[in-house]
A and B are shown apart, each in its own frame.
Chain A
């Protein structure tokens, strides 16, 4: 049976490739990113493999799961049927601890369960506060956690057992816990505890006010970099005269775009990594402070202007098709796609833990680079991608990868017509 499912998937995969986006004729692209953002995985002397990421991020290598790389042709995690192992008794207390464990998922990121200590629960998945009343068989609940795709092929929920994120024993404990959740539920003492009644976050104030958004202060200061000659004696200001505000007005509205000289789609950040050193001799590595700060400065010159990325030329349509395929591609240990969290049909505008998931149809990119109050730094779109991918259990690509540029183009196509407002400010 399992073999049959795998075979069907492989066939489905072939069909997709045949009808899907065209991945031929893309250039090979050596990364010009800082070491933490190149997506490198290194071998340690003891043979273990360690992913190179930013300090404070996990170094775990998720190499056994597929990524966004166009040449990664592995299928998503195969659908897997499983039964609870015989002779294992579930312990509801252990199950509850696992359900709430931030080391594990936590399940409360998407599902509400009772308890004052359940904070902050999310609303992406169904409220499980009285799931025990439904008298579902243990084996059914076990399968739903192990791999819910058996019942719901398009589910947003990861295949926790099939991916080995949870062991069989852990899932037995989770099932035992869920079976204890029975009504009638007491009145909710705190409307904020419940993600279905919790009010929306209020945000972080005016993103363009330099006394509110540190990124504005930092970006304004990047004008020095704009005017400073690089090693070959030339500065940005030498070619782009009239001051950055005038010289760059409207430029950002068209990025990401296909840059013919390099044969690929580029964001401003991507373009700076090659254009900066070519003209001034100064390296502007992707995700370096210089690159992000200059990008903010350049984007600020277009603030208030509508985004106008090319979505009509043949090249743009081909790139958009690849970007869209990435958006819907399931990757990593959690087998998630961007669409799971960021389309209104699925997770968008719902709470993931305490954070409201952004909605792709509103446009996600026009405030990037954005100040992240939780990180104390301005992040460009790529660092945000890389950050998103890491808890999903996928190895990241280089910051300036073509795959990311085309995914960013697809996202930015939803920003078209909406005013640029950068740098943003978020959690």
Chain B
């Protein structure tokens, strides 16, 4: 999984001040599934999956996701926020092994 943690964030191509902007993001992550042993018992281990996603803009959290292993591998997350000023939207993906992966997109007005 050398690709783990690669992030893409996509905003609409043109944004006007005050627009409610729809954001799409994707992170490459295995979102490890529960494993079972030959007797069907759940294997007790520290499963590797993203459990929190936080989007910040102008120093404020605009959306957060708490996630479980029922979220897909290489998940996509979509949300909206109101673009009031130029600035950076940062999305941070945290996993259960302490990994933190970030992606950013610049909010610019044309």
List residues of chain A with CB under 8 Å of any chain B CB.
209-212, 214, 216-218, 221, 376
Contacts and interface: CB of A to CB of B under 8 A. Distances in A.
B3 interface: yes
B6 interface: yes
A117 to B, nearest CB: 23
Contacts of B8: 210-211, 216-217
B9 A211 contact: yes
A418 B89 CA distance: 38
A210 B26 CA distance: 7
Given A211-B8, A376-B74, A218 B28 contact: yes
Contacts of A376: 30, 73-74
A214 B74 contact: yes
A217 B76 contact: no
Contacts of B73: 376
A209 B24 contact: yes
B17 to A, nearest CB: 24
A212 B6 contact: no
A209 B74 CA distance: 14
15 contacts: A209-B10, A209-B24, A210-B10, A211-B9, A211-B25, A211-B26, A212-B24, A214-B26, A214-B74, A217-B3, A217-B6, A217-B26, A221-B3, A221-B6, A376-B30
B28 A217 contact: yes
A312 B110 CA distance: 51
A25 to B, nearest CB: 42
B28 A214 contact: yes
Contacts of A210: 8, 10, 26
Contacts of B6: 217-218, 221
A216 B3 CA distance: 12
Interface string B1-45: 001001011100000000000001110101000000000000000
A221 B76 CA distance: 18
Most buried by A among B6, B9, B25: B6
Contacts of B26: 210-212, 214, 217
A217 B25 CA distance: 11
Interface string B66-100: 00000001101000000000000000000000000
Contacts of B76: 211-212
A217 B3 CA distance: 9
A102 B102 CA distance: 43
A231 B6 CA distance: 26
A216 B6 CA distance: 11
